[in-house]
Amino acid sequence: MGPQRGDILKKELGIYTFNDLLEHFPNRHIDKTKINLIKDITPQTEFVQIAGKLINAEIAGEKRGRRLVASLKDSSGTIELVWFQGINWIQKMLQPGNEYLVYGRTGFFQGTPQISHPEIETFSREKTEGKNFLEPVYPSTEKLKIKGLGGRQIGKLTYTLFGMLRATDIPENIPDNIIEQLKLLPRHIAYRQLHFPSSPEAYEQALQRLKFEEFFLAQVRMNMAKAARHRYSKGNTFEQVGELFNTFYKQHLPFELTGAQKRVLKEIRHDTAQGKQMNRLLQGDVGSGKTIVALLCMLLAGDNGFQSCMLAPTEILATQHYNSLKELLKDMPVTVELLTGSTKKAARNKILPALAAGSLHILIGTHAVIEDAVQFHNLGLVIVDEQHRFGVEQRAKMWKKAPVPPHILVMTATPIPRTLAMTAYGDLDYSVIDELPPGRKPITTAHRYEYDRTKVLEFIKSEIAKGRQAYIIFPLIEESEKLDFENLMRGYENVKAFFPEPKYWISMVHGQQKPDVKNTNMDRFVKADTQIMVSTTVIEVGVNVPNASVMVIESAEKFGLSQLHQLRGRVGRGAEQSFCILLTGLQPTKVARERIKVMCATNDGFKIAEKDLQLRGPGDIEGIRQSGVLNFKLASIVLDRQLLQVSKEMAERVLDSDPDLILAENLQLKRFLQSQKGKTAWSKIS
């Protein structure tokens, strides 16, 4: 290939090396191994390859209906070929009377079989057999196509490459015993068969092998990273459960902990007592009570002479945590402060020295805490709430705020199915609160069309009459903030007209408000000075107002499933029956209808997450996207879950018996991983 085409291949597809080309996988194959007979074509037939004599080729129709129609005859019948584009050029190329080989998708037009825009080439009688492999078609781009590097031409390059390759150029990287046990194709054969399969079955086998390889290597890498961390990382030892923890637990805990909360606390206590750094993901559905677990952990740190820091993604949430922790700790000898972007200078000037001196025990904050100016005396524990809003680098910065890295507890309410969590965050330890506090009534969810909005508002009125509060959420949908804002304002005016002051008071919170305005408005709702909260999704995470019993989501069809679930989680936090009403336009799309159906059918975050995966694929799940771990080329965590499970077991088996990969049987695996060094993000989180 000349330098020009080489360059454009680099630019367009990132193909620099033979290996890149090898890993540029075809997105489909065309089966030209057989030559079909025209009489065998049925309405169920998809693609065919036909060899026959061209009878005629004439232009028919006018203007938009202009087309080239040809007929091709074999020993069994006649088929029609049609072109709508490039008509003149193709007509010039075709010679009635000659033999051609055509390939394409069949259709029926007025009872006769037809192929539109077939691939066509001249056919010589010696070639009575089709090709002996399925022909690959590769992803390409418009620019490449112009340069003559379309999906099929790339296939020619790949074909040439395979002619040059020896088996040893694609060395095996899975231990032989696993290859044998699972009857996997050897790696070099799998690559060849994936590009140029001898049959659809062979392709399938090759695909399975390479998918397994992707999963397996990822699992091995993550397990090794985790083991290395457990073995080598130094961490603070929280030796004792002391005064603070015990006093709070016995005297100030406002409720009995759930079994799941107790179990998670035990796991964390165990972790932090080992002298190793804890790096734990705590997953718990909305309302499962993660905050109190966080508080108890911070008291544990305090008992061992360490400071704690709790990070929240939004100012509202940080403020709320601060208020509720301050209230819970009011009779305890523990100091708590809040630091956010809008903390006044005077307050800041008090907080920072206290933090550096160690007289401040717990700091709650937003990313403002990450700034270099914020220095701790001895930071021992960092809690990151609703982690998906925090970037990886930001978390890493927290590490550096203490000579010995602090223990990290990442809390998330984004329900991720367990297997997926283990894959995505396989190098973190994992805890789950899989039990809701007792006495919660499941939220009743209903779908209503916009024309029923008045009834919905009436319903809110009746709930307010019982002393409850309601949320009305507007989506952020348009490309422009301005349109969103106008939409929200229109909604607000409508609500206001229906709920006039002074009988009713409404809070409004949205992204364009100054933090202190936001906080004041939120605060009024928390204190029940206002009965209605009109808001965009800024209240999506964490906000806790147990007295709120109605959640109305406007344009619900515009929201993703996990977002709907998060929003719904703002109600159902008290003892009262709560309601979630999903308002949509008249014709939600099919997928939107599916989402709404699921929401109405279940409150279970994990079930919803499963469905979300099905509907969207894992790449879209918030928080996983940036982890990059799940970006497999061939395998899909959703569709190939069984394979994922097998690969996980196999990876564990290998590492259990040979954690450092020193046995001869694991040598090829080790070599491969070493050759890939740098490609692997060994520990992405914290």
Task: Give least dist CB 568 to ligand ADP, A.
Answer: 12
Asked if 136 is part of the footprint of ligand ADP (rule: CB under 6 A), the reply reads: no
Considering only the stretches 113-121, 289-297, 341-349, 507-515, report the one whose residues sit in contact with ligand ADP under the rule CB under 6 A. Answer: 289-297
**Residue 104 near Mg ion by CB under 5 A:** no
Query: Counting contacts by CB under 6 A, is residue 141 touching ligand ADP?
Result: no
Task: For the chain, state the CA radius of gyration.
Answer: 32
**What single-letter amino acid sits at 408?**
I
Is 257 a binding residue for ligand ADP by CB under 6 A? The answer is yes
Among 136, 235, 415, 542, binds Mg ion (CB under 5 A): 542
Query: Minimum distance from CB of 611 to ligand ADP (Å)?
Result: 20
Pairing of strands 379-385, 407-412: parallel
- Exactly one of 106, 272, 279, 288 binds ligand ADP (CB under 6 A); that residue is 288
Q: Is 415 in the site for ligand ADP (CB under 6 A)?
A: no
Q: Report the C-alpha gap between 599 and 456 in whole angstroms.
A: 18
| Contact (CB, 8 A) for 415 and 606 | yes
Nearer to ligand ADP, 278 or 296 (CB): 296
How many helices (H) and strands (E) would you count in the chain?
A: 23, 21
What is the C-alpha to C-alpha distance for residues 66 and 63, in angstroms, rounded to an integer? 5
The H-or-E segment that residue 180 falls in is: helix 176-182
Helix (H, G, I), strand (E, B) or coil at 301: helix
Closest approach, Cβ 576 to ligand ADP, in A, equals 13
Which residue is closest to Mg ion by CB?
542
Tell whether residue 289 is a contact of ligand ADP (CB under 6 A): yes
Among 24, 32, 211, 290, binds ligand ADP (CB under 6 A): 290
What are the residues whose beta carbons fall under 8 Å from the beta carbon of 682, sequence distance 6 or more?
221, 225, 228, 427
Residue showing the smallest CB distance to ligand ADP in the complex = 289
Residue with tokens 């996980």: 648
Report the alpha-carbon distance of residue 648 to residue 644 in Å, rounded: 6
Is residue 578 within the footprint of ligand ADP (CB under 6 A)? no
423-to-350, 420, 477, 684 alpha-carbon distances in Å: 43, 5, 31, 13
Closest distance to Mg ion from the beta carbon of 151 (Å): 48
Instruction: Work out which of 114, 173, 258, 584 binds ligand ADP, going by CB under 6 A.
Output: 258
Instruction: Decide if residue 681 touches ligand ADP (CB under 6 A).
Output: no
Residues in the chain: 686
Q: Is 249 in the site for ligand ADP (CB under 6 A)?
A: no
Cβ closer to ligand ADP: 217 or 294?
294
Residues 533-572 that bind ligand ADP (CB under 6 A): 544, 546
Interface with ligand ADP, residue 221, by CB under 6 A? no
Any contact of residue 287 with ligand ADP (CB under 6 A)? yes
Residues in 424-463 that interact with ligand ADP by CB under 6 A = 437
Tokens representing residue 304 in the block? 């061992």
Report the DSSP beta bridge partners of residue 309.
Answer: 363, 382
Residues 6+ apart with CB under 8 A from 332: 244, 247, 248, 252, 299
Q: Which is nearer to Mg ion, 114 or 519 (CB)?
A: 519
- Structure token digits, residue 445: 């969810």
Q: Which residues bind ligand ADP (CB under 6 A)?
A: 255, 257-258, 261, 284, 286-292, 413, 437, 544, 546, 573
